[in-house]
């Protein structure tokens, strides 16, 4: 796990860095609010450890601006100000946890690791994989056995839904509601046509078919 410490007290930062590195984590350190904010915006960190009292810009302002701009990296606030009101301020500013000074290194490591696990659970899915069929949701790209497959927007939505429900039977009603946004049956063969087109693209040139028709029930995508 990669951790960024934003702390102006060199001795305290060295203490934290040593404890986290001994626990197997990679640690970077910034001394000021502005430099820490700039580094945090790279988005390459799993957890931010932020002191409240920082030169240039205080920790609450740093985290508030990062949250306003959409950065979701978990934040642990550190402060000598440990009463309830101060903890509430930190959480309202966008912090995920608050640790009052002085603290034990073991507790610091445990809290950072807990936030790292939470961040992994909250991370949005950007890639779907079923066997050798892969979908990149950000690049809107589909490949099978590493070969790019060109599909239309509606086919992309259809395949995404099938991949998210891989191994399960997906009914016509489910597809009408989730892919076409219909809450009634238009009494057309629109689903059959799109499934046929999709099947020709993801199965035709490959040894093993993945998209199957389950007679009387619907469709199933499986590796």
Which residue segments constitute the domains of the chain, with CATH numbers given? 2-122 (3.40.50.2300), 127-221 (1.10.10.10)
- What are all long-range contacts of 16-24, with beta carbons under 8 Å and residues at least 24 apart? 16/49, 16/105, 16/108, 19/105, 19/106, 19/108, 19/109, 20/108, 20/109, 20/112, 23/109, 23/113
Question: How many alpha carbons fall within 13 Å on the CB side of residue 24?
Answer: 3
Give the pairing type, strands 133-136 and 97-100.
unpaired
220: number of Cβ within 10 Å = 17
Instruction: Report, as an integer, the average pLDDT of 48-62.
Output: 95
pTM above 0.75, yes or no: no
Judge contact between 194 and 155, C-beta under 8 A.
yes
Percentage of the chain modeled with pLDDT above 70: 96
Greatest Cα-to-Cα distance within the chain, rounded to the nearest angstrom: 72
Please give the mean pLDDT across all residues of the chain: 90
pLDDT of residue 101: 87
pLDDT of residue 16: 94
Percentage of the chain modeled with pLDDT above 90: 64
> Which residues on neighbouring strands pair with residue 130, listed in sequence order?
133
Per residue, the 3-state secondary structure of 183-212, as one string, reads CCCCCCCHHHHHHHHHHHHHCCCCCCCCEE
pLDDT at 119 over 80: no
Judge contact between 18 and 46, C-beta under 8 A.
no
Q: Decide: helix, strand or coil at residue 36.
A: helix
Integer Rg of the chain from CA? 24
Instruction: Report, as an integer, the average pLDDT of 164-187.
Output: 88
């Amino acid at each position: 796990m990669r951790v960024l410490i934003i702390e102006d007290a060199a001795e305290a930062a060295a203490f934290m860095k040593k404890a986290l590195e001994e626990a197997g984590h990679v640690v970077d350190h910034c001394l000021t609010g502005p430099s820490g904010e700039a580094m945090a915006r790279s988005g390459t960190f799993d957890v931010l450890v932020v002191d409240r009292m920082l030169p240039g810009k205080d920790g609450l302002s740093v985290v508030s601006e990062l949250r306003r701009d959409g950065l979701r990296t978990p934040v642990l606030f550190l402060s000598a100000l440990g009463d309830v009101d101060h903890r509430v301020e930190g959480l309202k500013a966008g912090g995920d946890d608050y640790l009052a000074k002085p603290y034990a290194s073991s507790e610091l490591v445990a809290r950072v690791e807990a936030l790292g696990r939470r961040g992994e659970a909250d991370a949005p899915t950007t890639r779907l994989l079923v066997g050798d069929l892969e979908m990149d949701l950000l690049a809107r790209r589909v490949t099978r056995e590493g070969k790019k497959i060109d599909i239309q927007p509606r086919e992309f939505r259809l395949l995404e839904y099938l991949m998210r429900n891989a191994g399960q039977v997906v009914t016509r009603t489910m597809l009408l509601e989730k892919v076409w946004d219909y809450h009634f049956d238009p009494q057309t063969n629109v689903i059959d046509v799109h499934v046929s087109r999709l099947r020709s693209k993801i199965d035709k040139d490959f040894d093993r078919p993945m998209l199957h028709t389950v007679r009387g029930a619907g469709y199933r995508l499986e590796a």
